[in-house]
Structure 1
């Protein structure tokens, strides 16, 4: 597909969206034929489709297997070491995209071709036309989006190896965004493109504060990154105010691009603005701080689905619940998939319309128990269904075929169909397939773990305490093994109007332990109560800032601040060592959870 056909903006973009979703079946069929025609001479397709027409869709579906990353990795490794792209792709592989690496334990490398940037830009160009249907006046101000790049690496043959967002931010597409009326951002490109995340964060927050009266929307890619920025602001607002008051940039900013851009933005001292910010930030309580610092903001944009929904209460606390939480799109390192056509919907009801021109989609139907399918399980080809064949209410695992050489690749996302837009299904993101806790015959996936944590954390609310972050670990060092939850808890400073409350005591945390166990599934509760094969669930409360340190650890190991998601199940020895070194107190479930034999 020619990149020129993807350069739609404004009303044209919405018209193209309507056309694509009305003709989803035809678009998908044509796209698969195009992929097969282009990649017909690749070693991979020749291996599986020898002796047939390479544009034969039927033969593709009959003979090409469903794969996981470990199946395609040998081919990717060969290209990374210098072999021709024709191993898997009919077009040159221009870069390798690195995943966040926090779900499966280490980053994966995904091949990418030049026109993939056109496809990503097509998705980005849909966002504002969709938002403009629901929110007015966005062209009257600036966007304060906190974006970060990760230092690039190279494969042995010299191909760039970087995150998908770093790739986009360093592309001509991102640089040309300023021509769009709706892409007037507070942060200069020099601050966004700074490899030092602390300097980048400082400069982007400074720029956002300087333009505080012009900000009409704000956010970050993931909710966790936005909350990390607020935490950074709590620690550095005095220095930021001093920069604005004196018109002189803090000496900690040593990056030449940042110094030049931010010094030009500061220009003159502005004591009045500094006083305004100081008066807000020096309050006892930071409840509603986002609305107070950026009073004209109309919404917060960030991923708040899946495990990111953990951060919704914190975002609502800092925005006093006044700003809608908007999740605009669904994407991964492998491919950008779809958009949210109802961006102001409640985060719990967010669904994404998959765009038929991004890749060829297939789906593995899942029963409830199959949500936990092992990635090593062989998938029967006649089990797969096409995009327009999925059924409302049913669960599926996503499989994609891309122009860059992924053929029938299991992305690892579990989705549920909850509607259609024209002929195109809309999906709710459920969880990542391979994030589970297991001690015995129990299998706790990310969604179930998250649901139980959400149930338990409500017990903290009467004590003005907020669960900032959590992760888990299956501790099998003793018999029986048990689930360990690491919790970082923030004790919110009450405003003068709040009533005096009792301190958070040990019994409350013990109650949280049993509340989680009561909310976990039948098999877990049977193992705990009847089989005695799982020990009492444990909550380890860690020091403030521990999860920031955990993020720093993963960033040092290759993760991106932009794409980082706290791993909900820890598999890294170094990460466990860090968490355990910051434990303040431990609490165990005081009794067995309820279990009734079937």
Structure 2
């Protein structure tokens, strides 16, 4: 078993008694990671012993690791599709989980270009809420005084559908925001948002963004941190401000809400905070009317201490643009999660984006790791998997994440490639490398996310001499010519129009 390394010292001192309990939980859970993992697997197997999926493997009531590993196959989403389709069509028998499937969580579709339906159970909300409750106690170790202001977070619900059998299918964050865990969360001075719940829960993206931005502008002096789930989301908010600042200024100046905002719950809650403020309107008009938007975040929200966004993986491309708009504020990546499962948190959230590592919390699921060799073909019937337990991974090596969850995923390959960077107590810390997927393909050629991003970053270095950076890019495979080639479209941020690369 690997032992203490990069973060061997206890997390301290806590900011308050509540934080002390959370940090103690992190310490105890990571210190006894292997024991916690053994308990998690036993719980999952004992409660689901009679489910249809497990019966053919004849576990015989066994809940130990060796029996589990010798009898249960490693699978992908495609292997589970028949069972998932039955549940989606209305079969309520215990197919994957002894607990009823409460809804499906939809993936973004980035792994193979198609949306996946991930079964979940009601109690998973408690597990996700537990991980959320650990984030601010860790952040408070690095950034003091976050209880003295508010967070401006751009949070949104997305569209949801129902399966033929009547179960909701929606993104994991939409599920969380619409849950009572979020809507009726107790007051916490470290977790106060400028955005009222009504603005977050509005399904109309324009009305939601407009009202959240308006509230953030009204309380600009109270804002201590800005955030969105992904870096791209925060940049969309800045772009929205560029396009709509004049309407927002008019609302603040007159104390009347834009007529395009028709949601009655939003109009009601905004009316309680929107009053005529000509001084604030004049300030925002002056800042937003300038051609140069460098540092606009700290110009409008001067007390901001950091940006809370995911900038790992494919989101790394947005770091230069975020630095431009924020004046180089720290970028905090706080947690690692997916629609399949919530995994862990960053115990050093103020580190550089390139150094972000997530500590896997062993209570969230049962974790195994498939050693990843670049260029290897993966698992075959002739080469049975040799998976490594959570505490037995080796620093510097890369692995594909495999999970067994309370909701009914058994030895499921998530598709994330992770590199071990160290340990906190006996729990490993991982740097997210990439999704194991194919973005582009010409004939037998395969270009994945990491290779495409590296190519864009290398090419974009040529733009530095023009004081220009890449804001966004997209690509496609052009097979009309022989040989085929990839076409990449760039959206550029030109910081000095007199020295544009297009001239």
The TM tier, using the shorter chain, reads over 0.9
Equivalent residue for 1:466? 469
Q: Given the two structures, how large is their TM-score scaled by the length of structure 1?
A: 0.79
Match in the other structure for 1:16: 25
Secondary structure of the structure 2 residue equivalent to 1:474 = strand
* Post-superposition offset of 1:479: 1.9
Aligned pair in 2 of structure 1 residues 156, 345: CA closer, same or farther (>3 Å)? same
- Distance in 2 (CA, whole Å) between partners of 1:349 and 1:144 is 25
Structure 2 residue 462 is matched with structure 1 residue 456? no
1:76 corresponds to 2:84: yes
Q: Work out whether residues 49 and 60 of structure 1, in 8 Å CA contact, stay in contact via their aligned partners in 2.
A: no
Q: Which residue of 2 aligns with 1:31?
A: 40
Q: Of Structure 1 and Structure 2, which has the larger fraction of its residues in helix?
A: 1
Q: Distance in 1 between matches of 2:364 and 2:442?
A: 39
Q: CA deviation at 1:427?
A: 0.3
Mapping for residues 51-450 of structure 1, pairs under 5 Å:
52-266=60-274, 268-321=275-328, 323-370=329-376, 373=377, 377-378=380-381, 380-439=383-442, 442-450=445-453
Do 1:335 and 1:358's aligned partners in 2 also have CA atoms closer than 8 Å? yes
Q: Among residues 467, 477, 480, which one is paired with 1:477 in the alignment?
A: 480
Contact 2:355 2:431 in 1 (8 A): yes
5+ residue gaps, structure 1, are 1-7, 495-499, 507-598
Distance 2:54 2:449 in 1: 35
State whether structure 2 residue 56 is matched by structure 1 residue 47. Answer: yes
* Contact 2:151/2:193, CA 8 A, preserved across alignment: yes
Match of residue 3 from structure 1: none
Report deviation, 1:475. Answer: 2.0
> Cα RMSD between the aligned structures?
1.6
Contact preservation (8 Å) 2:163, 2:169: yes
Q: Secondary structure at the match of 1:283?
A: coil
| CA shift for structure 1 position 462 | 2.1
Given that 2:111 and 2:415 are in contact with CA atoms closer than 8 Å, whether structure 1 keeps it comes out as no
Give the secondary-structure state (helix, strand or coil) at the position aligned to 1:86: coil
Q: Shift in Å at residue 461 of structure 1?
A: 2.2
CA shift digits 1:356-377 (9 cap, x unpaired): 000000111012323xx46x85
Aligned to 1:564: none
Q: How many Å separate the matches in 1 of 2:84 and 2:244?
A: 43
Looking at structure 2, the residues matched to 444 and 219 of structure 1 have their Cα atoms a distance apart, in angstroms, of 31
Between the aligned partners of 2:474 and 2:369, the Cα distance in structure 1 is: 29
- 8 Å CA contact 2:418–2:432 kept in 1: the answer is yes
CA contact (8 A) 1:85 1:91 kept: no
SS in 1 for 2:272: helix
1:486 is matched with which residue: 480, 489, 497? Answer: 489
Q: Deviations 1:446-482 (Å, cap 9, x if unpaired)?
A: 1122112111112112223221111222222332111
Q: What's the CA shift string for 1:248-305, capped at 9, x where partnerless? A: 0000101111111112220x21111111111111112000000001000100000000
Structure 2 unaligned blocks of 5 or more: 1-16
- 8 Å CA contact 1:417, 1:427 repeated in 2: yes
User: Separation in 2 of the partners of 1:286 and 1:378?
Assistant: 57
Larger RCO: 1 or 2 (CA < 8 Å, sep 6+):
2
Q: Say if 2:498 is the partner of 1:504.
A: no
- For the 8 Å contact 1:245–1:269, the answer to whether it is kept is yes
463-472 or 347-356: bigger deviation: 463-472
